[in-house]
Structure 1
Amino acid sequence: MHRTTWFAIPIVGLVVLCSGLGVWSYRLNNERQALVYQSDAQYSAAFHSLVSDMDHLTERLGESEVSTDQTGFASCAQDIWRLSYAGQTEISKLPIELMPMHHTQAFLTALANQSNAWMTNKASPRDPKVLKQVNNYYQRATSLKTELQSIQGKVLNGGLGWVAVNRAIHQNGGYHTGDNQIIDGFRTMDKGLTTFSETASLGSQLEGTKPPAKKPQGHTVTPTAAMNTVAAMLHVQRGRDWKTTTSNLGGQETVYLISGNAAHSPISAVVSRVGGNVLTLHEDRAVTNDKYGFAEAESRAKTWLQQNGFGTVSSEIANQSGNIGYFVFVPQTANGLAIQSPISINMALDNGDVLTLDSQAYYRNPIPTEAPKRKYSANQLQAKLNPQLRIEEVRNVVMRNQAGQVESAVQFIGVHDKQTYSVILNATTGSELSVNQIS
């Protein structure tokens, strides 16, 4: 027995030692893997930001092509300058071995310099020379954006890791046939810009102006009153399981978050404490058929909105997916469409009832009741537009500028280079209020 014990001691020691080495190796491997995940996450974040920057950069270039006055063009140029430098910053965060992007960086540098020159020289978008410059950059930026999106798709769909590809390059003399999709993508993209030169190119994002947020108005409602309002809008009885939670909604205003069940379907809603306005509403249930036609569902949605105090509305967006109708409406006023106060609503086609409502913009953006007199007709304003924009729709609108002042305006929706744009001109002064790429 004594000998057995003596013999067992080194065996046990060896087992403990091996176990210790195993644990140490396991922890080391976990730490290394954590670093890989962290690096991959950082590279992925930089790349997705680059894709986003190029997408917005292309939009701004397109919007500058259809801009009508110097002020609007300068706003586009300012954002182009910012996005060009942002793109260069994101490129610098990616692993250099994967980045044969000298020409891409040169393109972004040239574009930043050019946009700065446009701002400095107060360039006019109606100058043929400037228009040619913008179009040249737009075409190349579009190509660059497309290539980046293609690489993004390969990375996401193929589950490719930036660190793994980078390691493969070092292990295989700078190229690895199994993991070369990212590298090939960057090479193809950069090659497409080799013919670019600053010599050839020499020949703040302007979003729709947003009105100041509307402060909550009205009397303070109780949680019970808020639940009763939701029940009335859904034409159901308030269930015993309904409950409310008070939230500060990001510091903007105090609201009630309502949840419960109605006719065996979960419902949720957000109601403002001041005013008792239903900001969002959602019923979560399967829609099994399309008993109601799409046109009838749109009509029922308009009627429902009018019955619930939203007034007369005009259809802005309407489409169908499966057995659900998706609509966006804007309020109609005597002065034009209040396009800054849209209402989104989804209709179930099996019973014609409302599934979801989003009226946050409607309540938070003041709907103008009075507006300045129009001095320019739609035809007179259209003559100011860039002739490259093929106009498909014209409508009177009323909106607030960045200072919160009400403006009477005309909105032109047109197509340029297969992209759809919205151009809004002031009907009192004739100046440009906004240019937006909408598709």
Structure 2
Amino acid sequence: MVYGAIARVALPVALVGLVGAGMWGYQEHNEKNSVLIKAENQYQRAFHDLNHHIDKLHDELGKSLVINSRSQMTPSLTNVWRLAYAAQSDVGQLPLTLMPFNNTEEFLAKVADFSYRVAVRDLDKNPLTNQEYQTLKSLYNNSKSIQKQLQHVQTKVIDKRLRWMDVETALASDDKKTDNTIIDGFRTIEKKVQEFPEVDWGVGIKSLDKKKQQRIKGIDGNPVSKEEAQKIALSFTGLDPANTKVEVDDNGKAETYSAYSVRLTSPQSPTPIYMDVTKRGGKVAWLMNERDVGEQRMSMEQAEASAKKFLEAHGFSNMVVAEKDGYEGMAVMTFVPEQDGVRIYPDAVAVKTALDNGTVVSFNSTEYLFNHKQRILSKPKVTAEQAKKKVNPSVKVTDQRLALIEGKNDGNEVLCWELACSFEGNSYMVYINAMTGEEEEIVKMTTGQESKATE
């Protein structure tokens, strides 16, 4: 009787439990599928956008070769610049981080820089030179090669219904025997770009390249061993050495600096923590903890205070927040040093803080490591009021401050008046050279992005 009574109660409870577990498992499965489908759709969109932008880029380069009007050349090269940057953005959205593709990305960046430099100058006073025309011809032919290979990959993707999620898995598994059409196609593109004949990009682009190499060499300090890198990583994260597994490897050849790639696994962290430690000086170049972020419990102001405390604890003093935005439960911030009231933008540090508990989940100091140095700042020859007069009269200037930025043309540092402006509901940053009064740069601020010149 007792057994029967227990059975009458226990059996329905067990059935409810089984049904509940089944429903939970089904829901969990559906949620995972939804995430995978969303990621796949994003990858497919980025890939087809890349094809579209490369097609248009090739067409626009061809158009620039037949234009005989200087007034038409400027908008054409402006389109080349826009399309090259759009293609770069598309590449950045594809799961290619584990596969060297830096030569192709660098090619697109140089196409953008070259076309921009020519487009913004007065072509009536300084028309296209014969050498620049030859450069355009080279870019046209090179882009044709990339276009052709991309179209080949696109056809295969459509015909075979290939998935980008499989690409991500194949690259992560590092299985060199894997026969993957997409991976092979992109490797072919990278190989072709490496084999492109040398292009004369002009003095300006060469100057920027030289500047970049100087910056990379700027990370100084004593050589650091793998064992030392391990200790640095543990100290930086504050994880218990006794309970933390640390894996240290050389980073890929595609990196712009020499470093150890470190992976830390610990009961103190729900997910592994990844970081790069430079081989010279033992500096942490970046850190990432891809843990799930819970419900928001902190304000953006609290997150900023937490990030600033983190930076101070790791030797970054006199830092002020220059940009701040909220994204998927995180505060995404850019900090820059302030020297004598001047914001030093080349020394920027990026920090992401989780809004559930205020911990830093991402940190990037590569620009700081490349650029940071002792500086003697000049006094501005142009006043703030004089700088404001250089701005379009229809634009409203809401704030101003001094800032050090990198010049677009040669990468050299320029002292500017940073003017926060608004026009027809949009926010812009206008940079006026504080020594000459010339307009150096205009940046449109995205929605939700805090103006650099706002406290």
TM-score, normalised via structure 2 length: 0.52
Amino acid at match of 2:228: A
Q: 1:323 to 1:116 in 2, by over 3 A?
A: closer
Find the aligned partners of 2:289 and 2:423 in 1 and give their Cα distance. Answer: 40
> 1:223–1:382: structure 2 CA closer, same or farther, 3 Å change rule?
same
One of 220, 223, 244 as aligned partner of 1:220 = 223
1:241 aligns with 2:245: yes
1:261 correspondence with 2:256: no
Which position in structure 2 is the counterpart of 1:422? 429
Q: Distance in 2 between matches of 1:436 and 1:385?
A: 13
Matched, 1:339 2:320: no
In the TM superposition, what is the alpha-carbon distance from 1:118 to its structure 2 partner? 7.9
Amino acid at match of 2:433: N
Q: Secondary structure at the match of 1:120?
A: coil
Q: What amino acid is the match of 1:219?
A: N
- The structure-2 alpha-carbon separation of the partners of 1:414 and 1:269, relative to structure 1 and needing over 3 Å to count, comes to same
Aligned to 2:122: 119
Is the contact made by 2:74 and 2:120 (CA closer than 8 Å) also made in structure 1? Answer: no
Give the fraction of aligned pairs with identical amino acids, expressed as a percent.
19
Q: What amino acid sits opposite 1:256 in the alignment?
A: Y
**In the aligned structure 2, how far is the partner of 1:87 from the partner of 1:332?**
33
Deviations 1:21-74 (A, max 9, x none): xxxxxxxxxxxxxxxxxxx999864423467899xxxxxxxxxxxxxxxxxxx9
Give the CA deviation at 1:389. 2.4
Q: Which amino acid aligns with 1:243?
A: E
Structure 1 alignment gaps of length 5 or more:
1-39, 55-73, 90-111, 124-160, 163-203
Comparing 326-335 and 415-424, the one that deviates more: 415-424
Instruction: State the AA in 2 paired with 1:301.
Output: A
The 3-state SS of whatever aligns with 1:340 is helix
- Residue among 77, 81, 87 paired with 2:76: 81
Q: 1:275 aligns with which of 267, 272, 281?
A: 281
Q: Which residue of 2 aligns with 1:313?
A: 319
- Distance in 2, matches of 1:328 and 1:249, equals 27
Indicate conservation of the 8 Å contact 2:406/2:414, yes or no.
yes
Q: Which of 355, 380, 383 lines up with 1:377 in the alignment?
A: 383
How far 1:345 moved relative to its partner? Answer: 0.9
TM-score for the superposition, normalised by structure 1: 0.54
- CA distance in 2: counterparts of 1:242 and 1:222, whole angstroms: 14
Q: Which residue of 1 aligns with 2:441?
A: 434
SS at match of 1:300: helix
Q: Is the 8 A contact 1:302 1:312 kept in 2?
A: no
**Cα contact 2:380–2:434 (8 A) shared by 1:** yes
Matched, 1:297 2:303: yes
Higher relative contact order (CA 8 A, sep 6+): 1
State whether residues 57 and 83 of structure 2, in contact with CA within 8 Å, keep that contact through their aligned partners in structure 1: no
Aligned-partner SS, 1:81: helix
Q: Distance in 2 between matches of 1:250 and 1:49?
A: 23
Classify the secondary structure of the residue corresponding to 2:122: helix
* Distance (whole Å) between structure 1 residues aligned to residue 346 and residue 365 of structure 2: 12
Report the equivalent of 1:408.
415
Q: Secondary structure at the match of 1:270?
A: strand
Cα distance per residue 1:168-196 (max 9 Å; x no partner): xxxxxxxxxxxxxxxxxxxxxxxxxxxxx
- Contact in 2 for aligned 1:259/1:267 (Cα 8 Å): yes
- In the alignment, what sits opposite 1:230? 233
Q: Which amino acid aligns with 1:217?
A: D
Conserved 8 A contact 1:335-1:408: no
After superposition, where does 1:388-399 map in structure 2 within 5 Å? 388-399=394-405
Alignment of 1:141-290 (within 5 A): 212=212, 213-215=215-217, 216-238=219-241, 239-247=243-251, 249-250=253-254, 252-262=256-266, 263-265=268-270, 266-290=272-296
Judge conservation of contact 1:325–1:349 (CA < 8 Å) in 2: yes
1:91-132 Cα distance to aligned partner (Å, 9 max, x none): xxxxxxxxxxxxxxxxxxxxx9xx989833349xxxxxxxxx
- State how far apart, in whole Å, the 2-side matches of 1:437 and 1:352 are: 29
- What is the CA–CA distance in structure 2 between the aligned matches of 1:347 and 1:41, rounded to whole Å? 27
Give 1:47's aligned residue.
52
Question: Rg bigger for which structure?
Answer: 1
Distance 2:83 2:253 in 1: 36
Please give the alpha-carbon distance, in whole angstroms, between the structure 2 residues aligned to 1:295 and 1:259: 31
| 1:52–1:233 Cα change, 3 Å | farther
CA contact (8 A) 1:371 1:407 kept: no
For 1:421 and 1:52, the matched residues in 2 are separated by 27
**What letter matches 1:47 in structure 2?**
H
Residue pair 1:393, 1:414 contacting (<8 A) in 2 also = yes
Is the partner of 1:327 in helix, strand or coil?
strand
Aligned to 1:136: none
Aligned partners of 2:124 and 2:279: how far apart in 1? Answer: 51
- Secondary structure (helix, strand or coil) at the match of 1:242 reads strand
C-alpha distance after superposition, 1:291-320 (max 9, x if no partner):
433312211111210121111211122233
* TM-superposed deviation, 1:82: 1.7
- Work out the CA distance in 1 between the residues paired with 2:47 and 2:307: 45
Q: Which stretch shows the higher mean deviation, 391-400 or 275-284? A: 391-400
Question: CA 1:52–1:231 in 2, change beyond 3 Å: closer, same or farther?
Answer: farther
- In structure 2, the gaps of 5 or more residues are 1-44, 60-69, 85-114, 127-157, 160-201, 447-455
Structure 1 residues 235, 423: CA separation in 2 closer, same or farther (over 3 Å shift)? same
Kindly provide the CA deviation profile for residues 336-370 of structure 1, in whole angstroms up to 9, marking residues without a partner as x: 10112221111123332211101111111235521
Contact 1:338 1:368 in 2 (8 A): no
SS state at 2:276 partner = strand
3-state DSSP of counterpart to 1:219: coil
CA separation of 1:398/1:234 partners in 2, compared to 1, >3 Å: closer, same or farther? same
The one-letter code sitting in structure 2 at the alignment partner of 1:283 is N
| TM alignment of 1:16-27, pairs within 5 A | none
